[in-house]
């Protein structure tokens, strides 16, 4: 696993760390996921959850932990969560500090099943986020059936937003919609001070991206406090 922080500019702190799958020598997520067959999907999803929690505990993480999950690997939410609950209890990880991100890497044909997963996770006290919102399979229509706590705005919406009027209009309207639905926003792929500052001025306080820190392999990356200070000073 590698870990990348999600910062919260309203508090000047790290809100969460996202666990990102890597190979044992740091190989990319794609190189690993491309090797997972349909028959291995459930075991792989379970192994990633367990490893992420174990490593977060070993590294002394004090923020929330955000874990991607593959909806097609979850045949029944309460049955599939047992390994997660067991490892959390073993290492003393609070369930209130777990965020599950619905990844857009795969198409989910059965929307009722996905809604059932999200509703069950709500009941169990987990936070749920819709990852890569605005691209791939994570599109607006999912919000007709899902009630996530957070939308993670894909980097395609964020890249160059400081000067891109079209992107600015899109993100402003998404922010209004999210506020009316009482859904929080996280901006992914924030790579420049200009992007971060524009988002901050719109009231989008939670950011993730290279501007703040790159993912650290089997470690928690350091964040230069001046990065956040520069954003809020403008």
Three-state secondary-structure class, residue 72: helix
Q: How many CB atoms lie within 10 A of CB 79?
A: 9
Q: Where are the alpha helices (DSSP H) in the chain?
A: 29-33, 41-58, 77-80, 82-91, 111-123, 155-158, 165-180, 193-201, 225-233
Instruction: Find residue 184's DSSP bridge partners.
Output: 150
Tokens at 117, concatenated = 């997963």
- Cα 72 to Cα 100: distance, rounded to the nearest angstrom: 14
Query: Tens of pLDDT along 48-86?
Result: 999 999 999 999 999 999 999 877 677 677 777 888 999
Q: How many CB atoms lie within 10 A of CB 32?
A: 15
Tokens at 61, concatenated = 């993480």
Ordered domains of the chain (ranges, CATH): 2-233 (3.20.20.450)
Per-position DSSP letters for 134-197, written without gaps between them: TBTTB-GGGGGT---SEEEE-HHHHTTTTT-HHHHHHHHHHHHHHHHTT-EEEE----SHHHHH
Question: Taking all residues of the chain, what is their mean pLDDT, rounded to a whole number?
Answer: 91
Specify whether the CB–CB gap between 42 and 48 falls below 8 A.
no
Average confidence (pLDDT) over 156-178: 97
The pLDDT of residue 61 is 97
Query: Tens of pLDDT along 99-143?
Result: 999 875 555 667 788 888 889 889 888 999 999 898 765 578 889
The confidence band for 33, taking pLDDT boundaries of 50, 70 and 90, is confident
pTM passes above 0.85: yes
């Amino acid at each position: 696993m590698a870990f990348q922080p999600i910062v919260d500019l309203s508090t000047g702190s790290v809100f969460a760390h996202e666990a990102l799958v890597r190979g044992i020598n740091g190989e990319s997520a794609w190189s690993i996921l491309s090797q997972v067959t349909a028959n291995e999907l459930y075991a792989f999803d379970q192994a990633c959850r367990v490893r992420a929690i174990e490593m977060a505990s070993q590294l002394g993480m004090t923020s929330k932990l955000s874990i991607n999950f593959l909806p097609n690997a979850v045949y029944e939410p309460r049955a599939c969560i047992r390994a997660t609950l067991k490892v959390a209890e073993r290492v003393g990880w609070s369930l209130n500090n777990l965020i599950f991100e619905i990844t857009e890497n795969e198409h989910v044909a059965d929307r009722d099943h996905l809604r059932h997963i999200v509703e069950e996770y709500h009941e169990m006290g987990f936070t749920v986020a819709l990852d890569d919102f605005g691209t791939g399979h994570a599109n607006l229509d999912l919000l007709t059936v899902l009630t996530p706590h957070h939308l993670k705005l894909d980097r395609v919406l964020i890249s160059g937003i400081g000067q891109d009027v079209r992107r600015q209009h899109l993100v402003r309207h998404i922010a209004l919609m999210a506020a009316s639905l009482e859904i929080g926003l996280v901006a992914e792929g924030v790579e420049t001070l200009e992007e971060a500052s524009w988002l901050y001025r719109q009231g989008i306080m939670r950011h993730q991206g290279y501007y703040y820190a790159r993912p650290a392999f089997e470690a928690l990356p350091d964040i230069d406090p001046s990065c956040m200070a520069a954003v809020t000073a403008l």
